[in-house]
Amino acid sequence: MSTAAFLRHPPPSNLPLPYVLVADDDPASRRFLGDGLRALGAQVHECVDGQMALARAAIETFDLLLLDCRMPGAGARDVLLALRADAQARSADAPAVATSAEVSIEDRQQLLAVGFSDVLLKPCELDALRALVTLARNSGRNAPLLDDAAGLASSGDARTMQALRGLLREELVTLLNELAHLCSEPARLVERLHRLRSACGFCGAPALALQAKHLQRQVETGGSVGEGARERFRQALVATLAVLER
């Protein structure tokens, strides 16, 4: 399907536009990816190399990072590892997809292992970008600390939700005190994060659930706790606890 055809059928206006970073040193690839994503209803910021992408992702909150593997200065892997290690970078935990004209099975496995959600081969059809827009829309990057509607849907009524949030508050106090010790025991940390994500779902605490998911995935993939992911999780924990204590 052509770009013009997509433009004749824009996405529903009531959906928020996901914000995507496209970093590629090839002008043709950058133009195709940028225009295609815009046609599918995304906002796009384009960068011509890895250093520019890293700088932009540090100061802006993107819903998806689309990074070319062989950019001058810093390729996709270098950019993502630097972002994940930066506790202050605004897009440090954004989902990321690597792009490449060719990739071996081993290369693909290595990219997925360091945190990429997928690898996109270039050139590609516009239909291949549709899944990227869906990924960006579902990233939950702007998730609220508390979501009453989600909590009520899960718990059934306001009284039950408030009781569950009281239990969650107690759990967060304990977890905050034990976090440093748990980070030295990855297996125990993963178990606690798994339980916490379930509790957050019942209580309607999406921001903390998202950070717990990111930290759990990093520990399960790399076998250790990265400083950036741990600090972002701690910040979400403290912020959620503060709201629950009001």
In contact, 201 and 146? CB cutoff 8 Å: no
For 19-51, write each residue's pLDDT tens digit. 899 999 999 999 999 999 999 989 899 999 999
Q: Are 93 and 143 in contact (CB under 8 A)?
A: no
Report the percentage of the chain scoring pLDDT > 70.
Answer: 91
Residue 138 has pLDDT above 80, yes or no: no
Residue-averaged pLDDT of the chain: 86
- Least confident segment among 4-18, 21-35, 159-173: 4-18
Chain centre to alpha carbon of residue 36: 21
Q: How confident is the model at residue 218 (pLDDT cuts 50, 70, 90)?
A: confident
pLDDT, residue 64, reads: 93
Q: What secondary structure does DSSP assign to 8-47, as a single string?
A: TSPPPTTSPPPEEEEE-S-HHHHHHHHHHHHHTT-EEEEE
pLDDT band at 230 (very low <50, low <70, confident <90, very high): confident
Average pLDDT over residues 218-236: 78
For the cut 80, the answer to whether the pLDDT of residue 188 exceeds it is yes
Strands in 64-68's sheet, in edge-to-edge order, are: 43-47, 19-23, 64-68, 96-100, 118-121
Residue 4 predicted with pLDDT over 80: no
| Cross-strand pairs, 45 | 21
pLDDT of residue 15: 46
- List Cβ neighbours of 72 (8 Å cut-off, separation of 6 or more): 25, 49, 50
State which fold the 3-137 domain adopts. Answer: Rossmann fold (3.40.50)
CA-to-CA distance for 143 and 174, rounded, in angstroms?
A: 24
Q: Residue 68: which H helix or E strand, with range? A: strand 64-68
pLDDT at 90: 82
Compute the distance between CA of residue 31 and CA of residue 175 in angstroms, rounded to an integer: 46
Residue ranges, comma separated, of all CATH 3.40.50.2300 domains in the chain are: 3-137
Give backbone dihedrals phi and psi of 24, rounded to 5 degrees, phi first.
-160, 130
Instruction: Please check whether the domain covering 148-244 is classified as CATH 1.20.120.
Output: yes
Spell out a b/e string for 189-209, using b for 16 or more CB atoms within 10 Å of the CB, else e. bbebbeebbebbebbbbbbbb
Report whether pLDDT(7) > 90: no
Can you give the pLDDT at residue 13? 41
Nearest partner of 96 among 139, 48, 55, 130, judged by Cα: 139
- 64/109 Cα distance (integer angstroms): 20
**Model confidence at 65, in pLDDT bands (50, 70, 90)?**
very high
Could you tell me which residue, 75 or 141, shows the higher pLDDT? Answer: 75
Instruction: Report the amino acid identity of residue 203.
Output: C
Pick the more confident residue, 4 or 44.
44
Residue 226 has pLDDT above 80, yes or no: no
Parts of the chain belonging to CATH 1.20.120: 148-244
State residue 126's pLDDT score: 84
What is the reported pLDDT for 16? Answer: 57
